[in-house]
């Protein structure tokens, strides 16, 4: 995906810090890792398994990372003894709300118990580390908007319930043990790195494909739900700012404006010159058993205490995502049309391989990608 930015020069003031990020291969983890490397941090990233794991979001910085294989659901103390992080960002999660009804056990294990395992390991090994817990606006359910830190929380999905458990336990650890644990109650934040199963990425992708004649219809559930959509780059900046504060706390991270799913569709299609009404089809399989109708955050607290402000608005976000999809289609087209590279009359075995900073990576196959990382990366560690 042609969304990688040039590596920034380290900030000397932060050069001695070490950060540990769970869920580093995801949207938020990858942007956060980039930002921390730019500030001079040593960055460790936890992934569930090396085999079959996609590293697309971090492939351009993989040679600068320390990748560790493990699970947040299991004991992490031995790992933290070795790393001794100054900052811990718990971003690992089962995060697709629609699947949480059928996979509620996994959602509670990863999102709930996994978070507490992180807190407990930090308490035992590095109690002075500053910890970030990724909370969610889904915890509010249908409480009246705008939602603030004081709004009553009544989740309407197993995903929201699992996040509320972790959020509550973060407060308990903070108050019981005096730990610096801050929770970012993040409203919907998207980017070109968002997973394909999420509605924002699906809309952007189908709009781009339709403009190239590579799709037929956009099939979605209800278009009425409203969300407070921001860009992931802005939100990971808020995460970092929370851990620099002298005191921990809970913060709503939001833009303060909400838009319907229909608004997202209309804007995405307008960027490619199409009328969305000609291509939309309502599909019952995408309708949730219980829907949250209107989420709009009140970011007053984080703005007043930490000085955080989003730099990208809704229009910027949608344009960024659609543009990335169009560029991706063009890149795929160019790759299909380009002649195969030939060495000495034969196609070279290494012609599909890219090498960055000593980490060799075969392109196009998560399995091959993970095997090369497992074999060649000096930064790979595995824990039980």
Residues marked active site are found at 136, 138, 159
User: Distance (Å, rounded) from C-alpha 89 to C-alpha 155?
Assistant: 23
DSSP state of 25: T
**Rg of the chain, C-alpha, whole Å:** 21
Tell me which residue has tokens 């929201």: 160
Looking at the chain, the whole-number percentage of residues with pLDDT higher than 70 is 81
Percent of the chain with pLDDT over 90: 67
Going from N- to C-terminal start, the domains of the chain cover 71-335
Q: Give me the pLDDT at residue 379, please.
A: 60
Question: 291, 252, 287: which is closest to 156 by C-alpha?
Answer: 291
Structural contact between residues 226 and 259, judged by C-beta atoms closer than 8 angstroms:
yes
User: What is the per-residue pLDDT for 21?
Assistant: 98
The C-alpha atoms of residue 280 and residue 53 are separated, in whole angstroms, by: 33
Residues 288-328: tens digit of each pLDDT:
677 788 999 999 999 999 999 999 999 999 999 999 999 99
Query: Pseudo-torsion of CA 166, 170, 172, 177, nearest 10°?
Result: 140
The answer on pLDDT for 178 being more than 70 is: yes
Residue appearing with tokens 């039980």: 384
Predicted local confidence at residue 354, as pLDDT? 27
Q: Cis (ω within 30 of 0) for the bond into 283? A: no
Paired sense of beta strands 230-231 and 87-90, if any: unpaired
Among 360, 355, 357, smallest CA distance to 375 is for: 360
Find the mean pLDDT for residues 215-225: 90
Q: pLDDT band for 373, please (50, 70, 90 cuts).
A: low
Residues counted in the chain:
384
Estimate to the nearest angstrom the gap between the alpha carbon of 78 and the chain centroid: 26
Look at residue 43 and tell me whether its pLDDT is greater than 80.
yes
| Tokens encoding 62 | 């993989």
Name, in order, each residue with C-beta under 8 angstroms of 80's C-beta and a sequence gap of 6 or more.
20, 88, 121, 122, 125, 126
Asked if the model's pLDDT at residue 10 lies above 90, the reply is no
DSSP 109: I
| Cα dihedral value 180, 181, 182, 187, nearest 10 | 170
Q: State the Cα–Cα distance between residues 321 and 195, nearest whole angstrom.
A: 12
Spatial distance between the Cα atoms of 263 and 285, rounded to a whole number of angstroms = 21
Confidence of residue 338 (pLDDT cuts 50, 70, 90): low
Per-residue model confidence as pLDDT tens digits over 99-115: 767 878 888 989 999 99
352 — pLDDT class (breaks 50, 70, 90) = very low
Structure confidence by residue, pLDDT tens digits, 227-261 = 999 999 999 999 999 999 999 999 999 999 999 99
For residues 229 and 259, the answer to whether their CB atoms sit within 8 Å is yes
Q: Say whether pLDDT at 130 is over 90.
A: yes
CATH architecture of 71-335: 3-Layer(aba) Sandwich (3.40)
């Amino acid at each position: 995906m042609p969304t990688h930015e040039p590596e920034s020069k380290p900030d000397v003031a932060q050069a001695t810090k070490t950060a540990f990020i769970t869920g580093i291969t995801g949207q938020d983890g990858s942007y956060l890792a980039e930002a921390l490397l730019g500030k001079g941090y040593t960055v460790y990233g936890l992934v569930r398994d090396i085999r079959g794991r996609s590293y697309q979001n971090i492939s351009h910085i993989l040679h600068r990372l320390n990748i560790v294989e493990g699970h947040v659901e299991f004991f992490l103390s031995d790992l933290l003894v070795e790393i001794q992080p100054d900052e811990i960002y718990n971003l690992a999660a089962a995060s697709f709300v629609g699947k949480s009804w059928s996979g509620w056990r996994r959602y509670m294990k990863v999102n709930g118990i996994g978070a507490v395992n992180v807190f407990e390991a930090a308490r035992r090994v590095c109690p002075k580390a500053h910890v970030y817990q990724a909370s969610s606006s889904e915890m509010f359910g249908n409480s009246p908007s705008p939602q603030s830190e004081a709004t009553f929380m009544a989740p309407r999905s197993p995903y929201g319930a699992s996040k509320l458990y972790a959020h509550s336990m973060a407060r308990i650890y903070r108050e019981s043990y005096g730990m610096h644990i801050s929770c970012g109650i993040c409203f919907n934040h998207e980017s070109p790195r968002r997973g394909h199963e999420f509605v924002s990425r699906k809309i952007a992708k189908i709009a781009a494909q339709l403009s190239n004649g590579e799709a037929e219809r956009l099939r979605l559930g209800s278009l009425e739900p409203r969300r407070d959509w921001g860009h992931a780059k802005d939100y990971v900046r808020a995460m970092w700012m929370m851990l620099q504060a002298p005191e921990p706390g809970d913060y709503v991270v939001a833009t303060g404006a909400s838009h319907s799913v229909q608004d997202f569709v209309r804007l995405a299609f307008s960027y490619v010159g199409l009328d969305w009404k000609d291509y939309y089809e309502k599909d019952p399989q995408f309708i949730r058993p219980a829907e949250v109708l209107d989420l709009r955050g009140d970011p007053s607290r984080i703005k007043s205490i930490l000085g955080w402000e989003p730099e990208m608005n809704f229009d910027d976000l949608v344009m960024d995502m659609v543009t990335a999809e169009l560029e991706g289609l063009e890149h795929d087209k160019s790759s299909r049309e380009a002649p195969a590279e030939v060495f000495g009359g034969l196609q070279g075995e290494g012609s599909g391989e890219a090498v960055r900073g000593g980490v060799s990576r075969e392109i196009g196959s998560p399995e091959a990608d993970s095997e090369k990382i497992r074999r060649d990366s000096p930064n790979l560690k595995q824990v039980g």
